[in-house]
Structure 1
């Protein structure tokens, strides 16, 4: 980074001072610059504060449990639309599907049975399952977003059952170790920061009691460092850059997790929820994807950035703080990402000539008309592409892939009409004279649906 580090550090120091946070650790990961980190304050222990200091990350844990669940799907161990009771012996709510639990649209109550935040006594695995019949379905399934720690705890049980180990063991083996997240652990290390409640009307900071969340651990148990979490955020945004072999998750699976299933507010569409991930649009086709976390004495925000001019590959930010009341911490990762892009944007890659389109496709490149509107078909980056003439500049094109067993038939693999077929029709000389995309007719000239050709006047 060039001029950005001083600006980023100042943002962190300003929030630490204004929000009165005993300790803040922040980090920014991007593929084109060295890792940036900043710490401000004191741990509350004899250990000095530094990039290796662990903080509780709370509900950021859910993103890991979601990843483990999608791994199980990719390995054929479950289907997202399976009722969870198909894989777990549950006394109640077994009809809720994996997909609904991941997206917080199952309608299940927020916490396990009992006042766990009052007693700070979380159930063990056996008790969590045994008391499911005492937990309410507070909303009809699919009615709307309703956040549920209990739902993710059930998915943690599911993952452990399918993999034949504990949730913690499976997490370490299948995610933490492959991605090099060595400082992310179920229990705090000896140098971990102390969490505090900072008094609203004085400068007193009172230590919060340490809590083990037991069977609800898959929803909120983990401890980590800002540097580990910035790397995790970068993975959520750009998995191919950090896991090119797809050992943890294939890029297509992360695409699926990032697709919004629901909004979190019906009137203010400022955030959405995918499969275990919070999605916060930033305008201009930019999305921040990740999760926030809160546990007694700790707050965390972990987000990766996708899209937009100047966004680098594998770009993620994490902010961890040792106060349970400093809500300003939640906004800071978004500000760090935006500031880095504005003042230290990714380099603009030069355009270079590429290989020509295959001979069989050269004749179809150019302008076509469908549904009364003009489209441009082109060959870029080794693929057949199309975009509507009226599309805004930042909208990605449709991209097509040939079907090996069906000549002149292509599958739309991304963009407009994804999943639909494009079929080419040729004349006796082999020239493409019309196309059908998602069954709509495309011709070289504007036509009505009953084939009135405006050029020919008939």
Structure 2
């Protein structure tokens, strides 16, 4: 069975077992063409199901709003620790910070005020903000994770206000157009599939009504194709490949969104939330990053994969379903990402000799001792690196960059002690004889903290 046949079989199994009227799936990877698969019936007589069929993606929309927030931060329009009231005139909850709203730790109630999901009427932009006076903070700030559509809706309004336009217009101009996500829209189009509620006890399926979310659109309004969403997932986990010019967001800013702000279940620690992104650990330093989505008649899973053997980088998958209850698709997206690297791993790039370490750092290379433990310093990929001698092979090294015009003072830019300084001390001939990393002394021989070699007895 070919890798593509294995992927297709997994898709067909879930469509049949979960009884999904229409299922559309795509896998994006830079070393292969876009892979797509559709199974079922669109319910739209004018547009049979194909790779161009559009589904509602629900809360995957939040990842777009989160990127818009990070763009505004990078442009100096806000700070993540600013209170909302610094940028929006709100009647309540103005002390909630942007970071807490992004990570669902501000304690705001889940939905906008009112029975939105009963009456199927959403507030407009002005109404959403005015109704904050009636919304609850159901938990203390930063007490724990509590998912809130209201929180991301407020952030969408904040970004729109800062940019001087509507959320939809800002999104098109600053994200969708630069990334070529032409099939991602705020409103359904003629090729939209019908979303259903499938009867649990029979084979009946009834179309669900579709609600325009109005002021809450930044939380869950978008429609898209599986192909567009697989590319979006690839951007979220491989921006340097999908957006090499940084037109949408710098890779460092995307990586900032991965850092866990909270766990979603304190009893399991099986998942976390970053800045607008769901984090799903897969073991062996592999992380799936993205978001799930749900709206009446629709479910979506959009995730990219970071780390692990066989990963080509910028690997993203999307699973879009026209059933509001087929929760099996939430696992399918993760299964497909795993199958992609298991059945069709990226080619192994051959190693080739490179440049030697600069003369100024050659005396640093090799084993050193710090706090009683051995560390190995080396020069790879144009940078000084360090690893604990007994570190697992898959643990990333610490990487250092010299400060401008200070070659003997280096900043740890990633890995252990990120952010800390490494200070080199040289003897008269320029050889490095001692180092201090995060103020801890590193020496060529194992020494006690008061400087006595342990080998001296």
- Bin the TM-score by the shorter chain: over 0.9
Superposed displacement of residue 415, structure 1: 0.5
Whether 2:209 is the aligned partner of 1:209: answer yes
**Which residues of structure 1 form unaligned runs of 5+?**
none
Superposed displacement of residue 455, structure 1: 3.1
* Map of 2:178 onto structure 1: 178
Superposed displacement of residue 404, structure 1: 1.4
Superposed displacement of residue 90, structure 1: 0.3
* Map of 2:78 onto structure 1: 78
- Distance in 2 (CA, whole Å) between partners of 1:3 and 1:399 is 40
- Distance in 2 (CA, whole Å) between partners of 1:454 and 1:96 is 54
- 1:14-413 map, 5 Å: 14-46=13-45, 47-413=47-413
TM score, norm. by length of structure 1:
0.99
Q: Greater CA deviation, 422-431 or 446-455?
A: 446-455
Superposed displacement of residue 69, structure 1: 0.3
- Distance in 2 (CA, whole Å) between partners of 1:455 and 1:32 is 53
- Distance in 2 (CA, whole Å) between partners of 1:455 and 1:376 is 20
Superposed displacement of residue 210, structure 1: 1.5
Whether 2:450 is the aligned partner of 1:453: answer no
SS of residue paired to 1:7: helix
Superposed displacement of residue 429, structure 1: 1.3
- CA offsets, 1:304-335, max 9 Å, x none? 00000111121000000000000001111100
SS of residue paired to 1:363: helix
TM score, norm. by length of structure 2:
0.99
* Map of 2:442 onto structure 1: 442
SS of residue paired to 2:235: helix
- CA offsets, 1:193-246, max 9 Å, x none? 000000001100100011101111000000000000000000000000011111
User: Over aligned residues, Cα RMSD in angstroms?
Assistant: 0.8
Superposed displacement of residue 407, structure 1: 3.2
Whether 2:422 is the aligned partner of 1:425: answer no
**Which residues of structure 2 form unaligned runs of 5+?**
none
SS of residue paired to 1:445: coil
- Distance in 2 (CA, whole Å) between partners of 1:130 and 1:76 is 27
**Segments of 4+ in structure 1 off by > 4 A?**
none
- Distance in 2 (CA, whole Å) between partners of 1:277 and 1:369 is 39
- Distance in 1 (CA, whole Å) between partners of 2:334 and 2:126 is 39
Superposed displacement of residue 60, structure 1: 0.1
- Distance in 2 (CA, whole Å) between partners of 1:352 and 1:407 is 27
- Distance in 2 (CA, whole Å) between partners of 1:12 and 1:25 is 9
Superposed displacement of residue 3, structure 1: 2.0
SS of residue paired to 2:399: strand
Superposed displacement of residue 452, structure 1: 1.5
